[in-house]
């Protein structure tokens, strides 16, 4: 037991040094704070955002049936009406940069990181809409802040999709 004991602290020291190196290099590679990271992951992974659910509920109540994020449609739009060849994107104002909207604030730190991120998002949205248009899709964008105005939303959706008989 005594011989094991003499090796123990040394092994621990090695392990600690290893973790320190690992921790340092991970921090170096990740310029985001934990909060920013989780927000960013939210953009990529979270499909059932509050505005999206509001739009889906309204569509359902109006009698429209749809598909969500289908893999076989360019850009995997949030809500898709295949037979009509129409697609809806429900965009968060902050991430997708709703022009003139109060929610389109810009964080005061890591400005360069954020501007790059936002530019990429806006460019991606634009090219996705262009790709869809080229293959004959009609596209409607519903901004998060507008999804909360139900009268407006109902009118917008019925105009885009056509009245249900």
CB 116, min distance to Zn ion, A = 21
| Half-sphere exposure of residue 55: CA atoms within 13 angstroms, side-chain side | 29
Rounded-to-integer distance, Cα 118 and Cα 106, Å: 9
Q: Count residues binding Zn ion (CB under 5 A).
A: 5
Using the rule CB under 5 A, give the single segment among 15-23, 43-51, 69-77, 100-108 that binds Zn ion.
100-108
Pair type for strands 67-68 and 138-143 = unpaired
Residue 86 touching Zn ion (CB under 5 A):
no
Alpha-carbon dihedral 24, 110, 44, 161, rounded to 10 degrees: 180
Residue 101 touching Zn ion (CB under 5 A):
yes
Closer by beta carbon to Zn ion, 81 or else 147? 147
Polymer length of the chain: 165
Using the rule CB under 5 A, give the single segment among 19-27, 64-72, 83-91, 96-104 that binds Zn ion.
96-104
User: Residue numbers of the site for Zn ion (CB under 5 A)?
Assistant: 93, 98, 101, 143, 145
């Amino acid at each position: 037991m005594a011989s094991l004991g003499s090796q123990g602290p040394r092994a621990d020291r090695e392990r600690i040094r290893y973790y320190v190196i690992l921790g340092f290099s991970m921090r170096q590679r990740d310029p985001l704070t934990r909060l920013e990271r989780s927000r960013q992951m939210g953009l990529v992974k979270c499909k059932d955002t509050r505005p999206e659910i509001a739009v889906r509920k309204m569509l359902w109540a109006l009698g429209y049936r749809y598909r969500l994020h289908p893999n076989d449609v360019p850009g995997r739009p949030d809500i898709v009406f295949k037979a009509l060849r129409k697609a809806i994107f429900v965009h968060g104002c902050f991430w997708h940069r709703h022009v003139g909207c109060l929610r389109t604030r810009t964080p005061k730190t890591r400005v360069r990181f954020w501007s790059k991120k936002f530019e990429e998002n806006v460019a991606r949205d634009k090219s996705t809409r262009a790709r869809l248009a080229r293959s004959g899709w009609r596209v409607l964008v519903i901004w998060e802040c507008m999804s909360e105005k139900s009268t407006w939303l109902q009118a917008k959706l019925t105009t885009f999709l056509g009245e249900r008989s």
